[in-house]
Amino acid sequence: MNELFLLLIEIVGTVAFAISGIRLAAAKSFDWFGAYVVGLVTAIGGGTVRDLLLNTTPFWMVNGWYLAVTGLSLVTVLLLKKYLVKLDQTFFIFDTVGLALFVVIGIQKTLFFGYPMWVAIFMGTTTGALGGVLRDILINVEPLIFRKDVYGTACIAGGVIYWAIALVSDSVILQQSMCALTVILMRILAVRYNWSIPILRNYAE
Amino acid sequence: MNELFLLLIEIVGTVAFAISGIRLAAAKSFDWFGAYVVGLVTAIGGGTVRDLLLNTTPFWMVNGWYLAVTGLSLVTVLLLKKYLVKLDQTFFIFDTVGLALFVVIGIQKTLFFGYPMWVAIFMGTTTGALGGVLRDILINVEPLIFRKDVYGTACIAGGVIYWAIALVSDSVILQQSMCALTVILMRILAVRYNWSIPILRNYAE
Amino acid sequence: MNELFLLLIEIVGTVAFAISGIRLAAAKSFDWFGAYVVGLVTAIGGGTVRDLLLNTTPFWMVNGWYLAVTGLSLVTVLLLKKYLVKLDQTFFIFDTVGLALFVVIGIQKTLFFGYPMWVAIFMGTTTGALGGVLRDILINVEPLIFRKDVYGTACIAGGVIYWAIALVSDSVILQQSMCALTVILMRILAVRYNWSIPILRNYAE
């Protein structure tokens, strides 16, 4: 029941990530194949790099539904594209909940392999945020999360909270839920109050 | 004798891929070093990512001729550049035959490691098509195969045919040759009849 | 004592690489998070790809100071940005000495894993030069080292000298110091006498 709930969130997050990639591919007039690839890289790119760094089999190679769900995301965009624009709020929630879960999964998996917490925070952030960077490289634009938003920083903050809770409590459930909550809250507050990370001003040339 | 034939095709394919990268690097006024790197990434990039995902030693690290053949491709372009333009038809054939072989190699190697057929199709497509995507990232343009051509789709179609034949026949030779034939035919028909994958229209903004 | 000296050079090189990435990120108006990521990829990207290809744990995952030093580099740029421009000469020296050491480390590690010398030269060049290529991909510009400079070629030259010395002497110290010296000399001479690798002229279109 608990596992089913987590699987459901993971599917929702994967769909949200894939659709974000497919929509940006559409804005670049990519064809269906290109859109599928961009959607897939957005959805599984972060976790794939994490698994390569951890020297373990990429998660989507042992379970076919990641590729299938990305295909369904493409079909959804094709069929419902007119209505999707009105659902931006909904997608933001899906994307944010998915992000939070991806961070938790990345941290958990890294700790499972025996790495210290700072590697786990790095991997949680990679799992959550790198897919979007790879997506932006594929569509040939400067990575969005390097210029606006607190996307990556929210992942790091979630990881630090995971760490802090782990210092005072052994409850993995507590660690994970506080981590996820931090990511979600920070994203929502950032959008609500227009937070952003300071820009590094150009000082040369 | 049979192995010699396959080796010959693999060299021809590697040269065709490398030259496609080197020519695009030339169009960007890269220097010889840059052109070599772009040519190399085009030729071995797809197979390298496949081998990293399969957690095995990248194929070109155990056999020096891939780097050497890329060097020869560069010398060829330097010496014969005036004549290469007239050979575009020939290169198309070399590139297509190479692509077909790369797809077959990718599928074969993945099945050898015990993965199911859908992973093998993914890896066949990666082996054939990812080098060109990495090439386009290096020369900083939107990946060509995401906007025109049926390049990636031909790889997938070849993989599906491999699968279909495998369901009815145990002959690996038959599976592989029908897969290669599908890739080659689809590429030729696509160019001849101007096939393309539908564009995903922009629906927002 | 000797190890301490090498560690010092490695830190200096890492800082020089990280700052080069952070300054280019600043020129693109990235935020602090983006600048950190670009600095980190510049500093550890080459060695990370090398370790993935060698199928070993990425070096920075077993020692936290690479991430920490990149953070210090960011703070340095934030605090001292006005003065950094005047230090371009100093940075060139740091960057060049760091590059030389990275090439030596890449060669050494690859030979340690039992690969032949040509793989080691490839990995030395990757360790030294790939970080800058990944940096340029992240900031969405054509890789600098593909169009000017003898950066990559200096790495290859250092590797060839390593090889040549190894043919006539068993002294690893001699092999490594001559390799490093070659990289440093070639970089300095290239800047002093304005050397560059010939451009591959566009011959089509």
Task: Say yes or no to pLDDT of C1 above 60.
Answer: no
Asked whether the beta carbons of C91 and C12 are under 8 A apart, the reply is: no
Residue A181's pLDDT is 97
Strand spans (E) along chain C = none
Residues C98-112: what's their mean pLDDT?
96
Mutate to test the interface with A, among B122, B151, B160, B200 (most CBs of A within 10 A): B200
Give A36 to chain B, closest Cα distance, Å: 9
Number of Cβ atoms within 10 Å of the Cβ of A148: 15
In chain B, which residues have their Cβ closer than 8 Å to the Cβ of C115? 61
Model confidence at B113, pLDDT cuts 50, 70, 90, reads very high
pLDDT single digits (tens) A84-123? 778 888 888 888 999 999 999 999 999 999 999 999 999 9
Report the sign of the C-alpha dihedral through residues C158, C164, C165, C166, in that order: positive
CB contact under 8 A, A78 and B145: no
CB-nearest to B27 from C152, C196, C205 is C205
Which residues does chain C have within 8 Å of residue B25's beta carbon, measured at their own beta carbons? 146, 200
Q: Which residues from chain A sit within 8 angstroms of residue B197, using beta carbons?
A: 31-34
- Number of other CB atoms surrounding residue C61 within 10 Å: 22
Q: How far apart are CA C110 and CA C105, in angstroms?
A: 9
For residue C205, pLDDT beyond 50: no
CB B52 within 8 A of CB B58: yes
- Cα distance between residue A195 and residue C33, in whole Å: 13
Which amino acid is present at B18?
Answer: A
Lowest mean pLDDT among A24-33, A194-203, C53-62, C74-83: A194-203
Record: contact C33-A145, CB cut-off 8 A: yes
Q: Based on DSSP, count helices (H) and strands (E) in chain C, helices before strands.
A: 7, 0
- Among candidates A181, A188, A191, A189, which has minimal Cα distance to A161? A181
pLDDT digit string, tens, across residues B150-165: 899 999 999 999 999 9
Give per-residue pLDDT as tens, B177-190: 999 999 999 999 99
Distance between CA C78 and CA C31 in Å, rounded? 11
Q: Which residues of C touch B32 (CB under 8 A)?
A: 197-200
The whole-angstrom separation of Cα A79 and Cα B144 is 25
Residues in chain C: 205
- Interchain CB contact of C56 with B (< 8 Å): no
- Give the mean pLDDT of C95-99: 92
Q: What is the 3-state secondary structure (H, E, C) of B97-138?
A: HHHHHHHHHHHHHHHHCCCCHHHHHHHHHHHHHHHHHHHHHH
Which of C117, C125, C200 has the highest number of chain B CBs within 10 A, making it the mutation to test binding with B? C200
